[in-house]
Each structure stands twice: as structure tokens, then as C-alpha cells.
Amino acid sequence: MHPARELLRHTLATIAYRARKAVRDAPPGFAGVRAADTSRTAIEILAHMGDLFDWALSLAKGQQVWRESTPQAWDAETKRFFTALSAFDACLAGDSILGAPPEKLLQGPIADALTHIGQITLLRRIAGSPVKGENYFKADIATGQFAV
């Protein structure tokens, strides 16, 4: 496998690990929490993250398809996000030629998702249910792990 694809796949595994921590055991009502009147709610951010990886998959397949979804319930949106992330990873794991440069995939949808995981983590703290910190350098992160 090309080193750039390997790095992208490890980045996706890192996103999965961090997102799991951010969304797991969210308190009741958390989906509606927002930082300000003009900002997205937690569920809108999570839905956007699912949209990002649907878009990433389309880019990897040489298309440019953006679809803004209507947020579902928290558990359904969480599942949709991890399913989209896993589908994108499966594409990267394959041997087909990517329809977009790996660097563009990183700087677009992948980097955007990292930002949004941070937003959800911040909203957890605002909601009084902070995510436990850890040394991510020591975290057991392995490519291909996308279960919630």
C-alpha cells in the first residue's frame, strides 16, 4: 500500500478513536447543546461529520458529491458517522486509483472532521459531561477499527 494511503488510514483510525470518546455516553439532551445562538448543535455537528465522509468517499471515487443531511437521533447519527468513516477507509484500503490526491483528502474532509470532534468535546464540557483526557500518543489506535 502507498505510504500516503497508510497514513490516511491511520488518521481515520485516530478520528474514530477520538470521535468514539466524544460521542459515547452523551448525556440526555446533549444533541441540542450549542455554544452560541448562531452555532451548530451537537447533533448538527455530528451529522455534518457524516456528510464529510460521504463527501470524502465521493472524492476518492473521482466525483464531487456534497449532500447536507437532516440530523437524525443521536444514536442513528453516530452509527451513520462511523459507517461513512468505515466506507471511506475501505476505499483507501483497496487498490483502485484515488480520484483525488491524498493531500487534498487530508486538508479537506479529514482535517475538518478533526476540528468538529474538538467542537463536540468542548460541548460535552459545556454540558457538564466532559470527556476524560488521556495521552493520545499512548492510545491503542489501530487501522480499521470503527466500531462505536
Global pTM?
0.94
Average pLDDT over residues 8-29: 96
- β strands within the chain, DSSP E: none
Q: How confident is residue 135, by pLDDT bands cut at 50, 70 and 90? A: very high
Q: Long-range contacts of range 57-64, CB-CB < 8 Å, 24 or more positions apart?
A: 57/84, 57/87, 57/88, 57/91, 59/99, 59/100, 59/104, 59/105, 59/108, 59/109, 60/88, 60/91, 60/92, 60/98, 60/99, 60/100, 60/105, 61/91, 61/99, 62/99, 62/100, 63/99
70-107 per-position pLDDT tens digit: 999 999 999 999 999 999 999 999 999 999 999 999 99
**Domains of the chain, each with CATH number or no CATH:** 3-132 (1.20.120.450)
C-alpha cell belonging to residue 44: 448538527
Tens-place pLDDT, residues 26-54: 999 999 999 999 999 999 999 999 999 99
Give me 126's grid cell: 459545556
Residue 144 pLDDT:
82
Please give the average per-residue pLDDT across 3-27, as a whole number: 96
Other Cβ atoms closer than 10 A to 51: 18
N-term to C-term CA, the chain: 26
